[in-house]
């Protein structure tokens, strides 16, 4: 039975490598499970979740007991430490990467202590933070992705972001969790957000799967008795009717920018005016829109930098009758789509000052009434009943793109699209072991299920998710969930397709 050599590592001291004492967890590893990819293997409705790794470790020496002050890892068993699972032979490959979440000791009164280490993928780790991004205009989806990751202080080395094919007329990020913001951009592009095996957040545009290396199958998985790469149990087919849609609706909103105006005024005045002691700094948040503003106001195109005398005044008396100390203020601002943080500092060494005026100016953005564009596949609707798919994004830029997008998805999802899952046992052969160590999300494979499986399938699929298990005997199985590849096969690809064949993508 062929076996691979596996290495599980955790950068406990957070120095960027796995070379320090105790960071190689392989000698203590008893079993490990890992998963990555979509929650459902559909390129339309499936969304990539944060990956997960669960490792059972031998803890007989109590080295993984985080509260044991004499333990060799005491003080370093902390969330956020980088974790990776890899193979070194017969193929060197990263199988999973992510960030430490918990280490839970599993005591045994007989002394055979164990612990369970849980790590989460890049998307789950990134989603701990909320982000806000100021209004942007004419921005590609890839640039918006980068802006969100920049705001989340996600390293450039840990991302692989396509430029994107959609230019959003206007885009911004409200204060929201990072993953939700990224998914709204993903939906606007009709692309794919996922996790790589090297800590990277990956964004593919909607054309990637039409291009090399995804035009050709990388391997054939078969149920034939003599097949080189033969899958076993569990395998099967998900309900294809779940993915049938025949009414596609998209709303497009047009935005206008108002003239410069005062958008916010600090409400407390007179005796209630805020004070700044000598040397003190305070933060004030100007927000827009507010309850008294027009209901179609959605944010700010550009905030005007707060200016002394025009936007803020300071005085030794709360009613402004004392000495004007406006020149004793230093002003710093941070501008967002619906808010501006104003930081004021009193540089006067001896005198308390009152803020007798504080306002924020800017150009408000007004949303039009949305226009709805609909595509109905009457044949599908008659056969399967009405099934509506509304996209989950505010940022489809215009009517042309809305219509093209509706045509694109209707041409694919108005009929059933098979979703196949199958399991490869790596220890069945050297070729099969190499296969599961090499295969990744988005890879294209041929699945033959015309034999004992009885599925009647013999065509190409894309890997959308995977779930791997390695036990104490080094048996390594991986279950793959796969979406049909031929739905992308009918589109015309420049320099590849035969002239006058295929249909146009957008």
pTM: 0.92
- Is the pLDDT confidence value at 301 over 60? yes
With a pLDDT cut of 90, the percent of the chain lying above it is 89
- Averaged pLDDT, 231-257: 94
pLDDT tops 80 at residue 180: yes
Confidence (pLDDT) at 25? 97
Q: Give the contacts of 210 (CB within 8 A, at least 6 positions apart).
A: 488, 491, 493, 505
Q: Which residue has the tokens 């005085």?
A: 315
pLDDT at res. 500: 46
Q: DSSP string of 201-261? A: EEEE-TTGGGSTTTTS-S-EEE-STT-SSB-EEEEEE--GGGG---EEEEEE--EEEEEEE
- Supply the pLDDT for residue 495: 54
pLDDT of residue 32: 98
CB atoms near residue 123 (< 10 Å): 23
Q: Over the stretch 9-46, which tens digit does the pLDDT of each residue have?
A: 999 999 999 999 999 999 999 999 999 999 999 999 99
Judged against a pLDDT cut of 50, whether residue 501 lies above it is answered with no
Is the pLDDT at 488 greater than 90? The verdict is no
Q: Which residues pair with 469 in a beta bridge?
A: 33, 477
Write down the mean pLDDT value for the chain. Answer: 94
Q: Tens digit of pLDDT for each residue in 267-277?
A: 999 999 999 99
Per residue in 320-341, pLDDT (tens digit) is: 999 999 999 999 999 999 999 9
pLDDT of residue 179: 97
Tens digit of pLDDT for each residue in 188-234?
999 999 999 999 999 999 999 999 999 999 999 999 988 999 999 89
Residue 312 has pLDDT above 60, yes or no: yes
pLDDT of residue 61: 87
**What single string gives the DSSP state of each residue in 76-102?**
T--TT-EEEEEEEESS-EEEEEEEEEE
pLDDT of 390: 83
Res 111: pLDDT: 82
Q: Is the pLDDT of residue 436 over 80?
A: yes
Q: What's residue 479's pLDDT?
A: 98
- Which is it for strands 93-106 and 114-120: parallel, antiparallel or unpaired? antiparallel
Mean pLDDT over 59-80 rounds to 93
What is the pLDDT at residue 253?
A: 94
Kindly report, residue by residue over 369-401, the tens digit of the pLDDT. 999 999 999 999 999 999 999 888 899 999 999
Q: What is the model's pLDDT at position 109?
A: 83
Cβ pair 374, 255 in contact under 8 A: no
Grade residue 487 by pLDDT with cuts at 50, 70 and 90. Answer: confident
The whole-number average pLDDT for the span 155-180 is 96
Would you state the pLDDT for residue 18? 96
For residue 252, give Cα distances in angstroms to 169, 173, 193, 239, 411: 11, 17, 23, 32, 21
Confidence band (pLDDT; 50, 70, 90) for 498?
Answer: very low
Phi, psi angle pair for 463, to nearest 5°? -75, 125
């Amino acid at each position: 039975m062929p076996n691979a050599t596996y290495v599980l590592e955790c950068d406990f001291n957070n120095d960027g490598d796995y070379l320090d004492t105790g960071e190689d967890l392989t000698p203590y590893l008893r079993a490990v499970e890992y998963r990555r990819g979509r929650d459902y293997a559909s390129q339309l409705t499936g969304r990539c979740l944060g990956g997960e790794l669960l490792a059972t470790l031998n803890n007989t020496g109590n080295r993984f007991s985080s509260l044991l002050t004499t333990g060799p890892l005491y003080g370093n068993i902390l969330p956020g430490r980088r974790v990776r699972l890899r193979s070194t032979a017969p193929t060197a490959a990263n199988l999973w990467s992510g960030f430490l979440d918990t280490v839970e000791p599993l005591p045994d009164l007989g002394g055979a202590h164990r612990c369970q280490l849980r790590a989460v993928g890049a998307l789950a780790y990134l989603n701990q933070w909320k982000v806000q991004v100021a209004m942007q205009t004419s921005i590609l989806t890839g640039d918006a992705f980068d802006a969100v990751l920049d705001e989340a202080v996600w390293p450039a080395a840990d991302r692989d972001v396509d430029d994107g094919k959609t230019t959003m007329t206007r885009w911004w990020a409200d204060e929201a969790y990072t993953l939700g913001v990224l998914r709204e951009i993903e939906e606007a592009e009709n692309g794919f957000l996922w996790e790589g095996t090297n800590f990277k957040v990956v964004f593919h545009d909607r054309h990637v799967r039409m291009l090399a290396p995804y035009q050709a199958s990388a391997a054939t998985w078969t149920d034939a008795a003599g097949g080189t790469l033969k899958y076993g149990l569990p395998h099967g087919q998900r309900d294809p009717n779940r993915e049938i849609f025949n009414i596609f609706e998209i709303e497009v909103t047009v935005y206008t920018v108002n003239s410069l105006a005062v958008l916010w005024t600090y409400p407390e005045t007179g005796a209630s005016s805020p004070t700044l002691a000598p040397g003190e700094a305070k933060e004030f948040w100007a927000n827009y829109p507010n309850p008294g503003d027009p209901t179609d106001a959605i944010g700010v195109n550009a905030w005007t930098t707060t200016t002394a005398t025009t936007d803020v005044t300071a005085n030794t008396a709360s009613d402004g009758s004392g000495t004007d100390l406006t020149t004793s203020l230093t002003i710093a601002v941070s501008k967002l789509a619906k808010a501006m943080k104003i930081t004021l500092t009193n540089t006067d060494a001896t005198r308390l000052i009152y803020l007798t005026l504080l306002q924020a100016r800017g150009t408000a953005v007004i949303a039009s009434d949305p226009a709805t564009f609909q595509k109905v596949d009457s044949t599908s609707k008659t056969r399967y009943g009405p099934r509506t798919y509304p996209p989950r994004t505010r940022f489809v830029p215009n009517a042309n793109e809305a219509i093209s997008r509706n045509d694109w998805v209707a041409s694919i999802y108005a009929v059933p699209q098979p979703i196949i899952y199958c399991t490869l046992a790596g220890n069945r052969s050297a070729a099969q072991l190499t296969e599961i160590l090499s295969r990744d999300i988005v890879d294209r494979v041929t699945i033959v299920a015309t034999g004992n499986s009885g599925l009647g399938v013999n065509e190409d699929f894309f890997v959308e998710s995977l779930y791997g298990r390695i036990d104490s005997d080094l048996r390594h199985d991986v279950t793959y969930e796969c979406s049909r590849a031929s739905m992308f096969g009918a589109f015309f690809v420049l320099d590849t397709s035969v002239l006058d064949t295929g249909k146009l993508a957008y």
